[in-house]
């Protein structure tokens, strides 16, 4: 099997997570500067088999898309243009940052480590990917 790659897209930096090859476990991969994201994904896919990409879709509490979608949609269009055969799916990402902070607290990370925004973004990508995996296991 191949991996699933998840993206927590941000305007400055983007958290990335991947599954193992059996698609059972979501692991944080890294955080990259968003302006380098397309190149990073292309490089990663050239080395690892990736079946699909899931990207967090920011929504408001009333279920409408958040303002950040105006940055994410152009990126997804570019991604699909660069990788036309790669399936790309959106995953609701509401509360991922809150859950990431809670996870860091529960893991006993020091305050300085919890303020590391790159780590929060990477953990958020893991939460997005884990949510996707769990939704697929229900069917």
Question: Confidence band (pLDDT; 50, 70, 90) for 98?
Answer: low
Contact between 66 and 58 (Cβ < 8 Å): yes
Find the CATH number of the domain harbouring 77.
3.30.420.140
31 token code pair: 């955080």
Q: What is the pTM of this model?
A: 0.85
Q: How many domains does the chain have?
A: 1
76 token code pair: 């997804």
Q: Looking at 24-28, 31-35, 112-116, which range is the least confident one?
A: 112-116
* Range 32-58 average pLDDT: 96
For the chain, the average pLDDT equals 87
* Range 15-32 average pLDDT: 95
Residue 113 structural domain: 3-137
């Amino acid at each position: 099997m191949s991996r699933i790659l998840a993206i927590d897209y941000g305007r400055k930096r983007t958290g990335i997570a991947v599954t193992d090859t059996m698609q059972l476990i979501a692991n944080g991969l890294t955080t990259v500067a968003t302006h380098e994201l397309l190149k990073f994904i292309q490089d990663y896919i050239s080395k690892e088999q990736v079946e699909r990409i899931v990207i967090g879709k920011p929504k408001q509490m009333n279920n409408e898309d958040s303002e950040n979608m105006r940055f994410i949609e152009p990126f997804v269009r570019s991604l699909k243009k660069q990788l036309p055969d790669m399936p790309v799916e959106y995953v609701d990402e509401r509360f991922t940052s809150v859950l990431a902070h809670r996870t860091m607290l529960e893991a006993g990370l020091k305050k300085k480590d919890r303020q590391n925004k790159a780590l929060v973004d990477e953990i958020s990508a893991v939460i997005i990917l884990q949510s996707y995996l769990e939704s697929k296991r229900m069917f």
